[in-house]
Amino acid sequence: MDYDPFDLTQHPPRSPRVRLGGFVLLPRVIDKGRALLKGKIGEYKFNCPMDQKLFSFLQINEKQFLEILSKTSSDKEVLREILKISPPSLASWQIENWSSFLQQSGPSDLESKKFFVSSLEQIAPEREDIVSWFDLLDLDDYVSFGGKP
């Protein structure tokens, strides 16, 4: 069986912690977008609230992002195209601060806290070390494809 990096019915996308051009989430959203375009996104959701955080920071929308994916074949090309249309004033320190903040962020309001706790209880109720959204996403990816919490 050939490995298809964009078949999310067989394996998860890259971790939200993986960076491209300093941006967390970008490789994961690339994986999800390419899987969507191929009809192999599985249970994953493209343009979910976490994806929207990336799009908002880049000042693009999901349609623009998918258009970029449809005309590029590598992560490097995707990054180059995104940087062409993103704000030119986006400095490396801003990207680093945004990425670091997002990587450490957890639920901040009552509704998101309830969702976080409910999700964690379904996946691994005994895990007390899961505190950020990225922790939860990584754990969910791991468990969804047969890992033991």
If asked whether residues 85 and 129 sit together in one domain, one would say: no
Distance from C-alpha of 62 to C-alpha of 55, rounded to nearest angstrom: 7
If asked whether residues 48 and 38 sit together in one domain, one would say: yes
Tokens of 27: 């490789």
If asked whether residues 37 and 98 sit together in one domain, one would say: yes
Distance from C-alpha of 125 to C-alpha of 5, rounded to nearest angstrom: 30
If asked whether residues 5 and 72 sit together in one domain, one would say: yes
If asked whether residues 95 and 119 sit together in one domain, one would say: no
Buried-state track 135-144, b at ≥16 Cβ within 10 A, e below 16: bbbbbbbbee
If asked whether residues 2 and 41 sit together in one domain, one would say: yes
Reported as type and span, the H/E element at residue 141 is: helix 133-144
If asked whether residues 90 and 74 sit together in one domain, one would say: yes
Residue 31 contacts residue 5 (beta carbons within 8 Å): yes
Which residues constitute the domain of residue 18? Answer: 1-104
The model's pTM: 0.93
Give residue-wise pLDDT tens across range 30-44.
999 999 999 999 999
For residues 73-94, give the mean pLDDT.
92
Give residue-wise pLDDT tens across range 103-133.
999 999 999 999 999 999 999 999 999 999 9
Residue 56 has pLDDT above 80, yes or no: yes
